[in-house]
Amino acid sequence: MQTYSLAERPDLVDAFWAIPGDWPPFMLEDPTSLFAYDVAVEAFPQLHLVVLDGDEPVARLHAVPLEADVAHLPPRGWDHAMQYAERMVAKGVTPDLTTVSLIEARVAPKRRGQGLSGPLLFEARQRFAELGTRDLVGPVRPTRKALEPRTPADEYARRVREDGLPTDPWLRVHARLGGRIIGVAPLSMVIPGTLAQWREWTGLPFDVDGSVEVEGGLSPVHVDVAGDHAVYVEPNVWVHHDLRPTAR
């Protein structure tokens, strides 16, 4: 397998986008992602990686520049990082790459369980360090948090096995490569919609006030029947990779 950035291989842009995912339908309705994904890929090709198995694209990774204090990362997490990058592009500003935020690491569903996510993250660490990145952070979406949508995110993130590694598989991949959990982004992704939209996205009735669990959600959806809207607020886990030579 070979990994390339879109700066190295701009001809792989279509292949990059062609890698399928298995996000719940409502996750594709985040207002930020509707525009910022395209902007980020075009503006920062060196931070977007694609893995080929022969000629077949099997995995990809998104990342964007971020201006942030690692000790006080923004509570809006994913949305904040994407919107920051989008604003910099709109202003014509070229941000440095001292701090970079991971956005998504995607492995094609049929290639899951083949150990691709760890090498992909390792490759990103190496490449971004060569670009001058000192702090690689990420509002990580824990793989199995959706099985416990009502468990507080901080409590979930702090769970460890007997060997001291996180119980969550994706957090564990980060930890094995030197990533350190430094907090929760409680407002990482906010997805509002009318009740009709949420019914379409989930197939659920959304006819009672309160919180509703939806398949794939890391937290329940907040429903206001009289107001004809529902809002999903996703918590992510901030992870920090120190890419300074001494740390690596």
Residue 247 pLDDT > 80, yes or no? no
- In the chain, the percentage of residues whose pLDDT exceeds 90 is 93
Please count the CA atoms within 13 angstroms of the CA of 158 that sit on its side-chain side: 8
Query: How many helices (H) and strands (E) are present in the chain, helices listed first?
Result: 7, 9
- Residue whose tokens read 């014509």: 92
- In the chain, the percentage of residues whose pLDDT exceeds 70 is 99
Pick from 106, 97, 95: nearest CA to 62: 106
CATH code of the region 2-187+236-242: 3.40.630.30
Pick from 59, 54, 75, 79: nearest CA to 16: 59
Output the six-digit token pair for 158.
Answer: 């702090």
Residue 138 pLDDT > 80, yes or no? yes
Are 128 and 91 in contact, with CB atoms under 8 Å apart? no
Q: What is the pLDDT of residues 149-160, one digit of tens each?
A: 999 999 999 999
The residue extents of the domains of the chain are 2-187+236-242
Average pLDDT of the segment spanning 201-216: 97
Q: What is the pLDDT of residues 1-57, one digit of tens each?
A: 899 999 999 999 999 999 998 889 999 999 998 889 999 999 999 999 999 999 999
Are 216 and 24 in contact, with CB atoms under 8 Å apart? yes
pLDDT band at 112 (very low <50, low <70, confident <90, very high): confident
Q: Which pLDDT score, from 0 to 100, does residue 246 have? A: 65
Q: Which pLDDT score, from 0 to 100, does residue 34 have? A: 81
